[in-house]
A = this chain, B = another copy of it.
Amino acid sequence: MNDNTRRNMPLFPISIVMKLTELSARQIRYYEEHDLIHPARTEGNRRLFSFNDVDKLLEIKALLEQGVNLAGIKRVFELNEQAVNILQAGHQMQAKKEVSDSAIHRRLKRELMHAGRFGKTSLIQGELSRFFH
């Protein structure tokens, strides 16, 4: 099980996410409705959020506070993911060639993953991020 898997593991009910992000249930559901997050569901249709989901919600919150609207935030996310994909592809190529100065690449990828959270992230996000590596 790798880091990505762990960050995407569905763990939290909405009540916990509300506290972690200081968002209302309405807000969280609204952002999902607009395809900014895609929490998993239990068999009984209850939302289950991963660390990644929480992270994204904090990013949404920060961007909204900076005046970006949901459409803009969606774009930010898309671009971010593209960049990550490109880096991953490069990373895999390297792995096959066994060149593997992968440490540098991993670092770059991480920085990209966290791009968009330019500085002014909430305290909570700062704290939460420490759950990860």
Point out residues on A near B: beta carbons under 8 Å: 1, 3, 6, 10-13, 15-16, 42, 48, 127, 130-131
Contacts and interface: CB of A to CB of B under 8 A. Distances in A.
B42 A6 contact: no
B12 A12 contact: yes
A42 B18 CA distance: 13
B6 A131 contact: yes
A127 B1 contact: yes
Given A127-B1, A131-B131, A16 B6 contact: no
Contact of A130 (B6, B11, B15, B130): B6
Given A12-B12, A16-B48, A131-B131, 13 more contacts: A1-B127, A1-B130, A3-B130, A6-B127, A6-B130, A6-B131, A10-B16, A11-B11, A11-B12, A11-B16, A12-B16, A13-B13, A15-B42
A132 B92 CA distance: 27
A48 B48 CA distance: 15
A130 to B, nearest CB: 7
Contacts of A11: 11-12, 16
16 contacts: A1-B127, A1-B130, A3-B130, A6-B127, A6-B130, A6-B131, A10-B16, A11-B11, A11-B12, A11-B16, A12-B12, A12-B16, A13-B13, A15-B42, A16-B48, A131-B131
